Amino acid sequence: MIENVSGELKKYLEGKPVISVLLSFGAIILYVALGIMLIGTFTFLGGFISTLIQYVFYLGIILCLANADFQALLIGLGGRTLIALIALIMTIASDLREYLNWWDPIFALLIFGFFTYLAYKKVARKA
């Protein structure tokens, strides 16, 4: 079923002039954005850069989904889950008083962990 969605998404994106060029670079875009997000976990990159990288990461997810590159999705979403776990541990370790700051990494961990699990099931089914 997801293959049908991937195929239709690819057909749609091939009709867009800028996005059709980026289709072959989906995994690279995903991995570069993930690496910059990992750097941003330990250093402050600024609000604009962090938000821009977040959108580039989502673009990489869409491009990998269009290419049906589920292994790249597994690595990308797993890396994002790991980043959320690191952020949660750093938040707990640095600021035990303000427990409200814990919710953002917890929800990110749950959401991206769930999508990583789904991508893993898809890759494991192919192997």
Provide the pLDDT for residue 96: 62
Query: What pLDDT, in 10s, does the model give residues 43-96?
Result: 999 999 999 999 999 999 999 999 999 999 999 999 999 999 998 888 777 766
pLDDT tier, 38 (very low <50, low <70, confident <90, very high otherwise): very high
| 27: its two tokens | 């995994």
Domain segments of the chain: what residues? 2-126
Residues 6+ apart with CB under 8 A from 49: 40
Say what the pLDDT of residue 83 is.
94
**Model-level pTM?**
0.79
Assign 11 a pLDDT band (cuts: 50, 70, 90). Answer: very high
